[in-house]
Structure formats: structure tokens, C-alpha cells
């Protein structure tokens, strides 16, 4: 799995509004070298509480499912951010390196995060496999629908549904496919590959 940058933010947080777009731009430019996961602390207090977040924004670097470093507030400068990302990619190249006390704390927080992610049914390792599964099923969807334009109609809705769990990976309320919605029923529910994409990451079909 690629490294994960976990951005803990709040909508009312001024510095968050400045930092989050910059992190999003970094993720796009990185071309898949790391994943950016955004966590709204007001909506996911159990997660931010487990991570002992006391100020915003707080950024965690996660490699191989474990927290390896973090920082709070806005980065001091571009060089600081570059150094943090290089440390994240290598898992040990931070300068200055985390203290032994910090390493012990990160181990403790990692264990808490793993427990929460497991109970949510959508762990970080599952997140990393999402793209591969989706690409394979998208190819099947094109074949079933007959052409790329028709498949894109389904893909738009799938991307919209997936964006919710990418933004808020611990919120189970976003993993329901409402087939009572005529548009979703016609463009997603009618095609097995589309439904399979969603089911593969924990969606359930809701006909109520």
C-alpha cells in the first residue's frame, strides 16, 4: 500500500481551509505516490478522540498501516513539508526524527486506529485496493453498457458515491445504495459490474 496522509480538520478551522487545498494539490501532483484522507473531527469525534487530536489541523503520516509521524498547524515552510513527505515515503527519513517517546505514542495511536478501522469495515489496506478493483470492474462496465459514453453515466454516479467514503472512510451512513432513486436504479442498479464495485468496498443495497 502507498503511504497515507491523514488530514484531521474542521469546517470552522481557518488554517484548515488554507492547508487542505494545498494537500489536495500535492496529492494530485504526486500521481498516486500517496493517498490523502480527510477526517472531519466534528463528524468523527470517536476517531479524532482516539487519535488524541487537540489542535487543528493535525496531520498524521501513515505507512504500512502505522502512524510514523505527525505535525500540528500550518507547516513552517515548503522545506518542512518536503522533509515530512520524504520521511513518510521512506518511513524513517524524518529530520528531526521522532523521539522514542513519540514513537511509543504513535504505536499506541496506530493500534487504536486499526481497531476503529476494523470495526468500521473499511480499513486502510482495503482503501489501497479500492482503485485496482474499481478499474477492473469499470472495464467490465464498458463491455456491459456497450460504449464508453454510456459507461461514463454510471461511472459519474459511482464516483459520487465513492467520494463520500473516501472523504469520510469511517462513516457507515455513506455505504448504502438507494435503488429507490430512479437515476441510481437506471444507471447503477441495472448493471452488475456497477453494483459489484460498490459492494466490494462495503456498500449495501437499500431498497427502502
The residues annotated as belonging to the active site are 13, 16
Rg (CA), the chain: 19
Three cell numbers written together for 207:
431498497
d(CA 205, CA 143): 23
Contact 125, 134 (CB under 8 A): no
3-state SS assignment for residue 50: helix
- Phi first, then psi, for residue 31 (nearest 5°) are 60, 40
- Dihedral angle sign, alpha carbons of residues 153, 157, 160, 162: negative
Q: Kindly provide the b/e burial profile for residues 90-119, where b requires at least 16 CB atoms within 10 angstroms of the residue's own CB.
A: eeeebeeebeeeeeeebeebbeebeebbee
What is the dihedral angle through the alpha carbons of 15, 59, 32, 63, rounded to the nearest 10 degrees?
A: 180
- Identify the CA nearest to 63 among candidates 7, 115, 118, 5: 5
Amino acid at each position: 500500500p502507498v503511504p497515507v496522509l491523514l488530514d484531521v480538520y474542521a469546517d470552522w478551522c481557518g488554517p484548515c481551509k488554507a492547508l487542505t487545498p494545498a494537500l489536495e494539490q500535492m496529492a494530485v501532483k504526486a500521481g498516486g505516490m500517496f493517498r490523502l484522507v480527510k477526517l472531519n473531527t466534528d463528524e468523527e469525534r470517536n476517531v479524532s478522540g482516539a487519535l488524541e487530536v487537540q489542535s487543528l489541523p493535525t496531520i498524521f503520516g501513515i505507512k504500512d498501516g502505522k502512524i510514523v509521524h505527525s505535525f500540528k498547524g500550518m507547516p513552517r515552510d515548503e522545506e518542512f513539508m518536503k522533509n515530512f513527505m520524504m520521511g513518510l515515503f521512506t518511513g524513517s527519513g524524518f529530520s528531526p526524527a521522532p523521539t522514542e517517546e513519540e514513537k511509543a505514542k504513535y504505536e499506541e495511536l496506530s493500534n487504536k486506529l486499526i481497531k476503529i478501522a476494523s470495526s468500521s469495515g473499511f480499513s486502510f489496506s482495503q482503501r489501497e485496493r479500492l482503485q485496482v478493483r474499481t478499474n477492473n470492474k469499470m472495464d467490465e462496465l464498458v463491455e456491459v453498457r456497450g460504449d464508453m459514453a454510456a459507461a461514463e453515466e454510471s461511472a459519474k454516479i459511482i464516483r459520487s458515491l465513492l467520494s463520500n467514503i473516501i472523504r469520510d472512510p469511517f462513516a457507515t451512513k455513506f455505504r448504502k445504495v438507494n435503488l429507490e432513486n430512479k437515476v441510481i436504479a437506471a444507471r447503477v442498479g441495472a448493471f452488475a459490474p456497477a453494483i459489484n464495485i460498490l459492494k466490494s468496498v462495503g456498500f449495501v443495497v437499500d431498497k427502502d
